[in-house]
Structure 1
Amino acid sequence: MIKYHPSKQLMQKHIMGELPVGLSVAIAAHIELCDACSKEFDLLEAKQANETFNASVDDSDSHEFESMMDDIVQLTMFDEVVAHEPEVFEYQDKRVRLPRAIAALKLGSFMNAGKVSRARFELDEGPLRSSLLHIKPGGEIPEHTHTGFELTLILDGTFEDESGQYVPGDFIMLDGRHNHTPKTKDGCLCFTLVDNALHFNKGLSKLLNPIGKLIY
């Protein structure tokens, strides 16, 4: 059962187009996976549409709006329905159907480090990095905190840390207040978004901290 969800504030910003691409992609993907958030999103979207179309406007805005609506109704409409072909990602001898918002993105090549593999999506997001993360069975990411924020959306499999276990659809946002050691028994596939390097706390992984900004 999905336990972690984006806030209403984030979903509202998603509706208004006020979020970075990677974060909007994660929210759209979560909504596709989560029935509860899908219903909540529909309500928020309907409310926003009602407020927008019923807002009072001055004469110039009214004329511009009417002109826009005239252009829309004159568009040529097509009634041909094109079936959506779900994008399937193969890993660990499994075939996983990706949410449409993620499947639409162009993915780079995977880089491997032990049991952890990561491929970045080719998005121009400044300091943000959107990736597809695969951790093989028995894999673990050393204990770390965050110099920025880290969003993880579980797409397949499960992983756990000091706070519990996460399942497909869970939308987990962490920042510098959190320390954790993600690990998975059977393997998992995740969409991740970070805006700065991780900071490792223990062992040899601490050697990565000086170059963390170059590899996050």
Structure 2
Amino acid sequence: MIKHHPTDALLFAFAEGSLSVTLSMAVSAHIELCECCQQKLTQLEQSLGEESLGGEEEILVDSAFAAMFDDITADDTFAQTVDTVAETIMYQRKEIILPRALSCIERTEFLNLGKIGRSRYTVEDGTLRASLLHIGAGGEIPNHTHTGFEVTLLLDGDFGDEDGDYVPGDFIMLDGHHTHTPKTKEGCLCFTVVSAQLHFNKGLSKLLNPIGNLIY
């Protein structure tokens, strides 16, 4: 059962369309997997719709606007819509269907280092970086602190850290107040959004800190 969800503030920003691109991808993908947040979003959209109409039940338009609207809707140039097809990917010898929000968006090939592999989405979103991340069975990411924030949406498999264990669909958002060591027993696939480099705290991984801006 999904236990970790976007905050109400994030859901509200998503509903009104003010969330950044990569965070919108994360929230949308979570909503696709979470019935609870689907219901919350429906309620938020209804409230925003009622608010935008100012409580009026009818909207009066002048004849010129009505004629223009009829001309637009009569033009079949824009009549066709294309549904996003969910993408199936192979990872760790398994086939996984990605949420539609993460499908059909360009990303790099997986770059693998030991038991960790990353595929970066080629989305321009300021300092935010969005990626698919997989960790092999028994793997972990060294203990680190976030200099910005990190969103992790678990898509498949399992992982846990000092705060507990997570299941597919869990939406975890951490910032500079958190230090953790993510580990997986069976392997996992995640969608991640990070706003700044990680700061590694222990052992040889600390050698990566000087080049953290290049690899986050």
Please say whether Structure 1 and Structure 2 have the same fold, judged by a TM-score greater than 0.5: yes
Q: Which residue number corresponds to residue 193 of structure 1?
A: 193
CA displacement at 1:63 relative to structure 2: 6.6
CA displacement at 1:67 relative to structure 2: 3.3
Q: Which residue number corresponds to residue 104 of structure 1?
A: 104
What is the CA RMSD across the aligned residues, in angstroms? Answer: 2.4
* CA–CA separation in structure 2 for the residues paired with 1:69 and 1:200: 62
Matched, 1:88 2:88: yes
C-alpha contact (below 8 Å) 2:148/2:195 kept by paired residues = yes
How does the TM-score come out when normalised to structure 2?
0.89
* CA–CA separation in structure 1 for the residues paired with 2:92 and 2:206: 29
CA displacement at 1:97 relative to structure 2: 0.9
Partner secondary structure for residue 49 of structure 2: helix
CA displacement at 1:126 relative to structure 2: 1.6
CA displacement at 1:84 relative to structure 2: 5.9
* CA–CA separation in structure 1 for the residues paired with 2:107 and 2:180: 27
* CA–CA separation in structure 2 for the residues paired with 1:54 and 1:46: 12
Judged with a 3 Å threshold, the aligned counterparts in structure 2 of structure 1 residues 48 and 138 are, in CA distance, closer, same or farther, namely same
Partner secondary structure for residue 126 of structure 1: coil
Give the alignment partner of residue 65 of structure 2, picking from 64, 67, 76.
67
Q: Which residue number corresponds to residue 179 of structure 1?
A: 179
After superposition, the C-alpha distances for 1:152-179 in whole angstroms (9 at most, x for unaligned) are: 0011111010111111110000011001
Q: Which residue number corresponds to residue 59 of structure 1?
A: none
Residue identity in the other structure for 1:197: Q
Partner secondary structure for residue 180 of structure 2: coil
After superposition, the C-alpha distances for 1:67-87 in whole angstroms (9 at most, x for unaligned) are: 389527841468888776421
Residue identity in the other structure for 1:71: F
* CA–CA separation in structure 2 for the residues paired with 1:170 and 1:182: 14
Deviates more, 1:24-33 or 1:102-111: 102-111
Partner secondary structure for residue 156 of structure 2: strand
Judged with a 3 Å threshold, the aligned counterparts in structure 2 of structure 1 residues 156 and 68 are, in CA distance, closer, same or farther, namely farther
C-alpha contact (below 8 Å) 2:116/2:136 kept by paired residues = yes
CA displacement at 1:147 relative to structure 2: 0.4
Judged with a 3 Å threshold, the aligned counterparts in structure 2 of structure 1 residues 16 and 117 are, in CA distance, closer, same or farther, namely same
CA displacement at 1:92 relative to structure 2: 1.4
Q: Which residue number corresponds to residue 18 of structure 2?
A: 18
C-alpha contact (below 8 Å) 2:142/2:202 kept by paired residues = yes
CA displacement at 1:94 relative to structure 2: 1.1
How does the TM-score come out when normalised to structure 1?
0.89
* CA–CA separation in structure 1 for the residues paired with 2:113 and 2:36: 36
Judged with a 3 Å threshold, the aligned counterparts in structure 2 of structure 1 residues 180 and 69 are, in CA distance, closer, same or farther, namely farther
Residue identity in the other structure for 1:67: F
After superposition, the C-alpha distances for 1:48-80 in whole angstroms (9 at most, x for unaligned) are: 111112268xxxxx879x938952784146888
* CA–CA separation in structure 2 for the residues paired with 1:13 and 1:45: 11
* CA–CA separation in structure 1 for the residues paired with 2:197 and 2:98: 26
Q: Which residue number corresponds to residue 37 of structure 1?
A: 37
Residue identity in the other structure for 2:123: L
Give unpaired runs (5+ residues) of structure 1: 57-61
Residue identity in the other structure for 1:117: G
Identity of aligned residues (%): 52
